[in-house]
Amino acid sequence: MNYTSVSLLSGSAQRRNGDSFASERLMESSHARRVALSRLQLSKNMDMIGGLDGRKPEMGDMRRLAHLLEKEWDSRHHEHKAYEEHFADIELRFKTTSAPTFVAYGSGGWPDAVLFPIRTNRTPSNDADILGAAYWNTNNAEGQIFAVRKSVSDRDFAAGLEKRLIADALIPYARALAGIGEISNVFFYTWHLNGTFQSEQHKREMEMHRELGAIKARTFLDGRIAEMIYSHLLF
């Protein structure tokens, strides 16, 4: 079967932005949700922070995540933000998001690999959509899609942690929600925009996703960003 973002999604969905919170139906923890998540066993060096199901973030969590974003995204992804701006983004995320942040701790006990998914009802439409803030600031607790753009991995301490975090945390969590009908699709967007495109690094990341079972669908910005689909692994 040919999996694409169009064939995997059905119907049209209303776009909801900014501080869109969970409906009362989702905020009330249903029996099915409690049972599904009670079966979720993350590795001891992994955690979920914030969102509907993660633990409450602490100040140390937010500072570390802001530091990782400054270190990785300023130099590689043209965020052009200072630490303080990343910290403000992290604070806002934990106030408004329904999707948890997935964290893997390295040997030093620090968060060394992090995934920042959103929940939404649609995928990016075009290059402008994937580069702009509007889509990625969308968060809908009833959205059927997990979409991951921002992933951070401390290169000095986190060898292999991002791959394990996808396999052992993101997908099992999405699978648990898929089992009760809350989630039906997971999309991961590779992201290498550091001025001169590092094709070898991009190839390594693509290979990592393929080894995890993902299927490549669309590309953006002349192939710099690839849409990797994990949806078929949920059921």
Q: Is 187 exposed, middle or buried (0-12, 13-18, 19+ CB in 10 A)?
A: buried
Residue for token pair 């590779």: 190
CA nearest neighbour of 17 among 110, 99, 106, 119: 119
Res. 4: pLDDT tops 70? no
Indicate whether 150 belongs to any domain.
yes
Give me the number of domains the chain comprises. 1
Burial of 112 (C-beta count, 10 Å sphere; 0-12/13-18/19+): buried
Q: Looking at the domain assignment, is residue 4 inside a domain? A: no
197 pLDDT band, cuts 50/70/90, is low
Please indicate, yes or no, if residue 60 is contained in any of the structural domains. yes
| Residue 92 lies inside a defined structural domain of this protein | yes
In this predicted model, what pLDDT tens digit does every residue of 81-115 receive, in sequence order? 889 999 999 998 998 888 999 999 987 778 889 99
64 lies in some domain: yes
Burial code (b: 16+ CB inside 10 Å, e: under 16) for 57-87 equals beeebbebbbbbbbbbbbeeeebebeeeebb
* From 126-130, 138-142, 191-195, the region with the lowest mean pLDDT: 191-195
Q: Whole-prediction pTM value?
A: 0.83
Residue 75's domain comprises 17-233
Please report which confidence band the pLDDT of residue 193 belongs to, taking 50, 70 and 90 as the band edges: low
Domain CATH code at residue 210: 3.40.630.30
